[in-house]
Amino acid sequence: MAKQGVDPDELTQPFWDAANEQRLVIQNCVDCDRLQHPPSNTCRDCDDGGALEWKQVSGRGTIYNYGVVHDCPVRLLQEDQPFNLAVIMLDDDPGIQMYSHLPGVPVDDVPVGAAVEVIFEPSANGQLVPEWRVIDG
Amino acid sequence: MTTPTAPDSMYRNDEGLGIWEHRGKVAAVGVGHAPTSRRWDGRPETCVGAITIDALRKAIDDAGVAPDQIDGLVVVPVTTTGAFWEAGKPLPMDVIQSFNQTDDPLDGIAKLSAEWLLKNMPELTNVNFTMYGPGCMSNALNVTAQAVGDGLTHTCLVVKSWHNFEGRYYQGGANAGAALPGTPAITQLWGGPASYSTALQFAEYCRKYGKTHEMMAPFMENSRRNGLRFPEGYWAQHRPEELGPEDYLASRWIAKPANLFDNDIPIMMSGAYLFSTAERAADMKQKPVYILNHASSNTRPRSLLPTLDEVEADTARTGRKIYEGAGITADDLSFENMYDGFSLFHQFHLEGLGYRGIKFGEALDFYQTDISIEGPNPVSPSGGNVGSGRSRVWMHTDCIQQLQGRAGARQVTGVKPEVGVSGGPMPLGGNYTVWSASPD
């Protein structure tokens, strides 16, 4: 599915740069050693807003949940309706979620709980975007 | 006058705060609603500012208060249903010139400031307290109750309005663009519609507890039935259609398992109330409805979407806060009017409250019993957004009117209306009010 392009901003530049190198990085608080996603300018758990770093993660996870989108507000995706939209929980920290269209998985036939691994797909302006595919077997 | 946004200190976010210090000392009296419409027709007299003035004047008249006795105004400044005035679109100068303007030409058209209202309601000569309650009426009510209790204002109007323009909900703007900025791209590239998060929580709920989407049908039918008895509401005014199980379940999906009717219909509307101290309210035209407590949740999910575990933990916490501050238990509730827009999360609110003793995973079974206004266990007697369109206001109006005994065809008859609770919006993050026919 062709996604809109991405214009990285100051906050997310490291995330998108890593994606272009086919690496998945997630913000991590140096003080409380806790991942957070989506990214933010400060740690959401430290009262004094702990220092943040970008930490490479394994790129493995499980399908936590999904819905089937039949009426999408994003114009570019409307021609692909209906499509799966799943939430992936990272193996590195099952509290951290990422979205996926689950390429290759039939619509509304999503194996909740299945293992997945990250892949990177080009968006409309060439920026690579993390996606997830089911690991066979 | 510069209007501040309510500070965090106005809200009761924590457990363990004890009985609300102003319990029973603040009352709602007047109610005012403007006529609803599906979308703005472009006329000055139907713009969001104009309908807000209409609702406010009706609330004042309903309370029987002279306008110069009003010294406070709490406003929700955001009025969009998801429709925005597109950049570059010509301004409606005929509308703008019909009102006294602020520095923002879209004030009164696509947003609403307290300053704009005061400039266009010259009868409000003594308002010296204004404040913004962001988001929705539930928030603004908490602010108003606390402000009156704290003595910042003694007779205060509170209003929430919505504008809806041509075009499809949340389409256009960034969603129609070729690229997104990096930060919103992390959450928006995948194209989940507004009800997607709730749909996923509902899906998880069904998997965990062995429930189905079909089990929502009695709730939807009951809500529309109640909404059709709400003369101020959109469906009653424009499309008096019942919503039986066949129609509900045959509706197209938006984000399966959320279908069209699980998404509330965006409309133009305005609802206003007049609050006062219990002492002053005693002499007003309508019976006072006393505020026993207000409570809030500012919990955020750990990551992109709230999990079912996070939802259940927070609704339970919210229930405890509601009861603790009001000095009541679930057994004291005559009815509940928790938020329902989207319909698929109403059960989370019910279970968090422990309404009629129901526990996690039991609400959809409860929906299969008598939840009508004639029965002993009324669920959403307002009909909520399902029954009257997107406002996040009906539930509050209904609590006031039920306890005043003037809910008309919606009046609960299977229980004596003594205490009600309303609020929302989302199960994680919301504001709640406990209403009572008696200050005790």
ipTM: 0.96
Q: Which fold has domain B8-168+266-281?
A: Peroxisomal Thiolase; Chain A, domain 1 (3.40.47)
Neighbours of B323 (CB within 10 A): 22
Q: Report the number of distinct structural domains present in chain A.
A: 2
Q: What residues of A are in contact with residue B303 (Cβ under 8 Å)?
A: 36-38, 95-97
Pick B182's closest partner by Cβ from A16, A67, A75. Answer: A16
Interval B6-52: pLDDT, tens: 999 999 999 999 999 999 999 999 999 999 999 999 999 999 999 99
Pick A5's closest partner by Cβ from B175, B178, B300. Answer: B178
Read off the tokens for B160. 């929430």
Please enumerate in sequence order all residues whose Cβ is within 8 A of that of B376, keeping only pairs 6 or more positions apart, or say none: B370, B414, B415
Read off the tokens for A13. 């530049």
pLDDT at A137: 61
**Chain B residue closest in CA terms to A73:** B171
pLDDT at B416 exceeding the cut of 70: yes
pLDDT at B1: 75
Q: What residues of B are in contact with residue A72 (Cβ under 8 Å)?
A: 191-193
Count Cα atoms within 13 angstroms, Cβ side, for B352. 33
Interval A85-113: pLDDT, tens: 999 999 999 999 999 999 999 999 999 99
How far does the CA of residue A135 sit from the closest CA of chain B (Å)? 21
* Same domain for A129 and A92: yes
Q: Beginning with the edge strand found earlier in the chain, give each strand of the sheet holding B26-33 in spatial order.
A: B129-132, B72-75, B155-162, B269-277, B26-33, B289-297, B430-436, B419-425, B335-338
* Same domain for A82 and A43: no
pLDDT at A73 exceeding the cut of 70: yes
Read off the tokens for A101. 């269209």
Contact at CB, A97 and B193, closer than 8 angstroms: no
Q: What residues of A are in contact with residue B187 (Cβ under 8 Å)?
A: 38, 99
CA distance linking residue B140 with residue B132, whole number of Å: 7
Read off the tokens for B113. 């400031």
Pick B179's closest partner by Cβ from A75, A112, A124. Answer: A124
* Domain endpoint, select from A56, A75, A91: A56
pLDDT at B365: 98
Neighbours of B20 (CB within 10 A): 23
Contact at CB, B191 and A73, closer than 8 angstroms: yes
CA distance linking residue B88 with residue B100, whole number of Å: 23
Question: Over the Cα atoms of chain A, what is R_g?
Answer: 15
**Considering the domain boundaries, does residue A1 fall inside one?**
no
**Considering the domain boundaries, does residue A126 fall inside one?**
yes
Average pLDDT over residues B410-430: 96
Pairing of strands A52-56, A25-29: antiparallel
Q: How confident is the model at residue B73 (pLDDT cuts 50, 70, 90)?
A: very high
What is the percent of chain B with per-residue pLDDT over 70, rounded to a whole number? 100
Q: What residues of B are in contact with residue A15 (Cβ under 8 Å)?
A: 182, 186
* Same domain for A41 and A20: yes
Q: Which domain holds residue A20?
A: 8-56
**Considering the domain boundaries, does residue A3 fall inside one?**
no
Neighbours of B165 (CB within 10 A): 20
Read off the tokens for B114. 């307290």
| Residue that is written with structure tokens 């060439």 in the block | A126
Contact B357, B330 (CB under 8 A): yes
